[in-house]
Amino acid sequence: MPSLLFVCLGNICRSPAADGIAQSLSKQRGLDWRIDSAGTGAWHVGKTPDERMMMAAAARGMDLSPLRARQAEPDDFFRFDHIFAMDETNLADLEQIRPAGAIASLSLFLEQGDVPDPYYGGTDGFEHVLDLISARMETLFNRLQQD
């Protein structure tokens, strides 16, 4: 049973979207995978995802409202098998807190490039992020199910 952690900056836009998409896909496929999200920063700890992301996700049948932002921590490298950073900056920040002997694999979520942060953009940015994450999640799940 793989365990997956998705990490962005504040844990209110990209990583909760990945969390919701992964949970939905896991349910559709009848998988019992442990899925969570976190941020490298602590600004939004305890808060729900960004309203714009929750609305965009809801339009696709996903309810992100139960999710609460939390900050990634060194113990996550022992609690999860795979940790996926939404961009290069978050990947570098995660490398800084990665403890010696960590068991989790750490990589960018997209095979090439960053998932753009829609926080300062318009509503189209949230749709674009959901499209990117959805497409990549299918490929990721297929690969992990084969392992």
pLDDT at 11 over 80: yes
The answer to whether 13 is a known catalytic residue is no
DSSP classification of residue 5: E
The tally of domains found in the chain comes to 1
Q: What is the CATH number of the domain that holds 119?
A: 3.40.50.2300
Q: Is 117 among the residues known to form the active site?
A: yes
User: In this structure, what DSSP letter does residue 8 have?
Assistant: E
Nearest to residue 52, comparing CAs of 14, 25, 86? 14
CA 99/CA 87 separation, integer angstroms: 20
Task: Give me the domain span that covers residue 85.
Answer: 3-146
Q: What distance in Å separates the CA atoms of residue 126 and residue 21, rounded to the nearest whole number?
A: 13
The pLDDT tens digits for 88-134 are 999 999 999 999 999 999 999 998 899 999 998 877 899 999 999 99
Angle at 134 between CA 68 and CA 74, to 5 degrees: 45
Confidence (pTM): 0.97
User: Residues 13, 14, 70, 114: which is the catalytic one?
Assistant: 14
CB 36 within 8 Å of CB 27: no
pLDDT in tens, 31-88: 999 999 999 999 999 999 999 999 999 999 999 999 999 999 999 999 999 999 999 9
Phi, psi of 139 (to 5 degrees): -65, -45
Q: Amino acid letter at 8?
A: C
C-beta of residue 102 within 8 angstroms of C-beta of residue 78? yes
Neighbours of 90 (CB within 10 A): 28
Give the active site residue among 36, 87, 93, 117: 117
Say whether 14 is catalytic. Answer: yes
Q: Let me know: does 106 contact 85? Beta carbons within 8 Å.
A: yes
Instruction: Exactly one of 8, 19, 36, 114 is catalytic; name it.
Output: 8
